[in-house]
Amino acid sequence: MRLNLPQDQTLIGESPAFLEIIDQCSRAAKHDRPVLVIGERGTGKELIAARLHFLSPRWEKSFIQVNCAALPENLLESELFGHEAGSFTGASVRRIGRFEEAHGGTLFLDEIATTSLSAQEKLLRVTEYGSFQRIGSNKTIHADVRIIGATNIDLPSAAERGEFRHDLLDRLALDVITLPPLRYRRDDILLLAYQFGQRVAQERKWQSFPGFSGDMAHSLMQHDWPGNIRELKNVIERAVYHAEDEHEPISVLEIDPFDSPFRPRPKIQKTGEAPVPSPAPSQQDSKPLDYSQAVATLEQALLKNALESNKYNQRDTARFLNLTYHQLRHQLKKHGLL
Ligand SMILES: Nc1ncnc2c1ncn2[C@@H]1O[C@H](COP(=O)(O)OP(=O)(O)OP(=O)(O)O)[C@@H](O)[C@H]1O
Ligand SMILES: [Mg+2]
């Protein structure tokens, strides 16, 4: 089926992990029950939610999207369920909520984990009985809406902490689609990079896209992509926009545009205490951690920071780190910093 989505909404990927998600999506699209889409930031949750709607029997009806994190608690309830005129300060006219608007179609509740317990209680009622009341009204309204929720947090843990209702979680979790981070879809990196590059080349009115140099392709494959597909897209767009010759393969990769020797560093807190850089991948990373590599990275970062803070004077740096001059020289040598 051709999805009538803008070009940059097309889902790209061929890795087994991605194809499994597409299969799961097609199966889930057919039934008319809630679906949860879970995944780290930038993994494509919004695109998957849209796909679920457009592959479902509701595809010709409304697809309404609400970012639950974008509204304060009281306004979110009014946004979802509507309100009667005069029901609270500022509610001068009656407002139809998103549930009513989505009648017959799909309501995509993005960042669903940020909803208040009170909004969750109302959501539970809608998922159970298909009914709710506008704020300030006793009249029960029925809406036939399919809910898709998305979040980047672990909902069962949120439920354990009392931040998300267990009963709502059970209702919503009829199908749970968990998107793999890009680092577990390495086969897709170059494919995605190529597509993003091609789009920018088109925007720049180049005749064709020259591709990437071997070194650049290698670096793209090696990077861990903590920001996932969004990060990859930004990096490629930056690289292609900065390229000067449309016939030369793209070869300059700038992962962190803030990287500069003049970047303002956080202030050192106490005399004799170097800022401690983060040595290891974030806790969210479920990849195995190489202990020796992480310690080496930490040591190197400490040494570099201390050298920089002491204007590369090795005696001052040694004093700063509470090392003898010879100990410092040994460490610098070990890490190839001499
Ligand atoms: N499979 C894919 N093919 C092509 N582009 C993709 C794919 N997945 C995601 N993208 C692109 O990556 C960016 C991030 O996707 P999206 O907004 O859907 O992620 P998200 O998981 O909702 O992120 P967040 O948690 O920050 O809200 C978008 O520009 C989207 O178009
Ligand atoms: Mg999103």
- The H or E element containing residue 149 is strand 146-151
Rounded Cα distance between 53 and 60, Å, is 9
Q: How far, in Å, is the centroid of ligand 2 from the Cα of 114?
A: 13
Amino acid at 102: A
Report residue 282's pLDDT band, with 50, 70 and 90 as the boundaries: very low
Question: Which sign, positive or negative, has the C-alpha torsion 212, 213, 217, 222?
Answer: negative
Residue 2 — pLDDT band, cuts 50, 70, 90?
very low
- pLDDT confidence of residue 57: 96
- Residue 134 CA to ligand 2 centre (angstroms): 27
Mean pLDDT of 142-160: 97
As a whole number, mean pLDDT of residues 188-200 equals 96
How far apart CA 122 and CA 77 sit, in angstroms, is 9
Atom 16, ligand 1: residue with shortest CA distance? 44
Nearest CA to ligand 1 atom 8: 44
State in Å: Cα 223 to ligand 1 middle.
18
pLDDT, tens digit, 9 for 90 and up, residues 265-279: 776 655 555 555 554
Cα angle 35, 27, 14; round to 5: 100
Q: What ligand is nearest to the CA atom of residue 44?
A: 1
Expressed in angstroms and rounded, the spacing between residue 237 Cα and the centre of ligand 1 is 15
Which ligand sits closest to the CA of 15? 1
Q: How far is the CA of 140 from the centre of ligand 1 (A)?
A: 37
Q: How high is the mean pLDDT of the chain?
A: 89
Closest C-alpha residue for ligand 1 atom 12: 230
**Cα distance between residue 196 and residue 178, in whole Å:** 24
pLDDT at 284: 46
Q: What is the β-pairing status of strands 106-110 and 131-133?
A: unpaired
Q: What is the DSSP letter of 95?
A: B
**pLDDT above 90: percentage of residues in the chain:** 66
**CB neighbours of residue 336 within 10 Å:** 7
Alpha helices in 93-161 (DSSP H): 98-101, 117-129, 155-160
By percentage, how much of the chain surpasses pLDDT 70? 91
Give the nearest ligand 1 atom to 9 CA.
31
Ligand lying nearest the CA atom of residue 47: 1
- Pair of tokens at residue 289: 């951690």
pLDDT at 38: 98
Q: Give the model's confidence band at 309: pLDDT under 50 very low, under 70 low, under 90 confident, else very high.
A: confident
Please report the pLDDT score of residue 274 as a whole number.
Answer: 55
Task: Output the pLDDT for position 269.
Answer: 57
CB-defined site of ligand 1, < 6 Å? 8, 11-13, 39, 41-47, 152, 192, 229-230, 233
Ligand 2 mean position, distance from CA 46 (Å): 5
Among residues 20, 45, 49, 42, which one has the least CA distance to residue 224?
42
List the domains of the chain with CATH numbers. Answer: 7-180 (3.40.50.300), 183-242 (1.10.8.60), 265-279+290-338 (1.10.10.60)
Nearest to residue 186, comparing CAs of 239, 233, 225?
225
Nearest atom in ligand 1 to 13's CA: 1
Please give the average per-residue pLDDT across 99-113, as a whole number: 97
In this predicted structure, what is the pLDDT of residue 200?
96
Choose one of 5, 112, 185, 229 to mutate for the ligand 1 pocket test, by most ligand atoms within 8 angstroms of C-beta: 229
pLDDT digits (tens, 9 = 90+) for 47-101: 999 999 999 999 999 999 999 999 988 899 999 999 988 777 777 788 899 999 9
What is the per-residue pLDDT for 283?
Answer: 45
Q: Give distance in angstroms: CA of 41 to centre of ligand 2.
A: 7
